[in-house]
Every structure is written in structure tokens, then in C-alpha cells.
Amino acid sequence: MTINEIIILACIGLAAGAFSGMFGIGGGLVMVPAMVFFLAMSQHEAQGTSLGVLVIPVAAIAAFNYYKQGELNVKYALLIGLTFVIGGYFGSKLSLGMGQLMLKRAFGVLMLVMALKLIFFSKADPV
């Protein structure tokens, strides 16, 4: 690793950690595009590396802060976490069977659709 790569990786990690703590996101929205654009990684390699980061409970401290404030639904998190494992297995198999261009386009469409949904179609806050 070069010093330049170390600096870029540290910046990606800091940004992903900050966004994860603030918004509950980090891997797909921050780390994957940053690794593709700034480190010239393939889409597959960036996604695999992002998942490798998540193997270690990197969000534990942020989640604990939410828990202390009563803003973590533990039952929901456990059920989603258990089913996430199954979805992650099958999703990775599907992704690895796709070509780079198709995967990048699918990823971009997903990000665009989610952004439009959040901007224009979010549910109103409960009264």
C-alpha cells in the first residue's frame, strides 16, 4: 500500500463511519462508490471489500449510542440481522454472476430510485 492509498482509505473509512453514525448508511452509499472512483477498484471488489468491513461489528458503538437514547428497536434489528445473512448469501451469488457493467448500472439505478423515493415519496412523520 502506498501512502496515498492509506490516506484515501482512511478518508473513506472516516466518511463512511460518520455517515453511518449520522444516517445508518456507509457501505453501499459511501464506501463502494468511493473505492470505485478513488481507488479504481472493480464494482465486485469494492462491494466485497465493503462487506469485509462489515464483518467486524464496526457500527456497534454507533448502535449503542442509539440504544442508550431509546432509538434502537432490538427485536427488529435481530430479525433483520438474521434474514440479512440469508439475503447476503444469495445476493452475493447473484452479483458475482453479473458482468461489471450490468452490476454498476444496477447499483446506480438502486441508488437513484432510493434517492428519489426519499426526496419525493417519504411518509409523513406520525402526528
Instruction: At 53, list the grid cell.
Output: 468491513
How far, CA to CA in Å, does 38 sit from each of 4, 93, 111, 117? 10, 26, 19, 28
pLDDT at position 25, please?
75
Instruction: At 35, list the grid cell.
Output: 473505492
pLDDT at position 55, please?
67
pLDDT at position 76, please?
87
Residue with cell 490516506: 7
Instruction: At 32, list the grid cell.
Output: 463502494
Q: Please list the ranges in the chain whose pLDDT falls under 50.
A: none
pTM for the model stands at 0.67
pLDDT at position 21, please?
72
Residues 59-85 as b or e (16 or more Cβ within 10 Å = b): beebbeeeeeeeeeeeeeeeeeeeeee
pLDDT at position 18, please?
79
